[in-house]
Amino acid sequence: MKKVFAVLLFLVSSISMAGDIAVEDAWIQDAPPAARVMAAYMRIVNRSDHAVTLEAVESDRFGAVDIHATEVHHGMVHMSERRAVPIAPGESLALEPGGHHLMLRKAKGSVRAGDRVTFMLHFGNGDILETVAVVRGSDAGAAGGAAR
């Protein structure tokens, strides 16, 4: 039975778990070859009974991954880095277009639609969660603004 569960978990590859933290629907917005930056999105769910803090993210495909937030104030777009993003017990953190996102810089080689990119999410309690994000093409129905 345990084996079956393990296989099922493996098949549901869009969900990653470490302890009581889970990541769902991780994806990367496809970008022009000329782009020097890309963005990754996902939902991080805190199923524990205590707050956790997302503190850093790494990927072997990018030299730098920054936790960023896009904000619009008075009609102006402003983007800034976040060092530690808290997720309350039972709550989730949505990284989504126009809001929090992972800014991906210094790509090691080209990253194209359909690629799978592994991220290591580091939390304040010492947990490290590995998750895989798929690069979505710009024409994908659920990509970009349509995801809002």
Q: Which residues bind other proteins (CB under 8 A)?
A: 29, 31-39, 66, 68, 70, 72-81, 97-98, 101, 103-104, 138, 143-146, 148
Q: How far is CA 20 from the centre of its chain?
A: 17
- CB of 17 vs other proteins, minimal distance in Å: 26
- CB of 83 vs other proteins, minimal distance in Å: 8
Q: Provide the pairing of β-strand 15-18 with 21-29.
A: antiparallel
Which residue lies nearer to other proteins by CB, 75 or 126?
Answer: 75
Q: How far apart are CA 73 and CA 69, in angstroms?
A: 13
Which residue lies nearer to other proteins by CB, 21 or 42?
Answer: 42
Which residue lies nearer to other proteins by CB, 96 or 127?
Answer: 96
119, 135, 114: which is closest to 38 by C-alpha?
135
- CB of 110 vs other proteins, minimal distance in Å: 13
Angle 71-98-130 from CA coordinates, rounded to 5°: 110
Neighbouring residues of 42: CB distance < 8 A, sequence distance ≥ 6: 23, 24, 25, 26, 27, 95, 131, 133
- CB of 130 vs other proteins, minimal distance in Å: 22
Which residue lies nearer to other proteins by CB, 7 or 84?
Answer: 84
